[in-house]
Amino acid sequence: MEHTLEMIFTNAAGRRVTKRVTNARADVTGPEVKQAMDSIVNTNIFTSTGGDLVGQASARLVTRDVLELEL
């Protein structure tokens, strides 16, 4: 099973920007993600077409189950 962490931020233009982390831990917690998102916003390491990331909107852990079929 594959897990992708999606962190959704707001930028200076008020639009949403999604940053994805593939192969995320299945047991990641909300406080851990909040701390990471705070760090990303405070260090200003990402930008977007609408300007710097200025806040947090939401986060989610997406699970994908892929079954390879033998042909």
> Are 62 and 3 spatial neighbours (Cβ–Cβ below 8 Å)?
yes
pLDDT digits (tens, 9 = 90+) for 25-60: 999 999 999 999 999 999 999 989 999 999 999 999
pLDDT band (50, 70, 90) for residue 66: confident
Closest CA to 3 of 57, 68, 66: 66
- Read off the pLDDT of each residue in 7-33 and give the average, rounded to a whole number: 97
Q: What is the dihedral of CA 3, 4, 8, 9, to 10 degrees?
A: 120
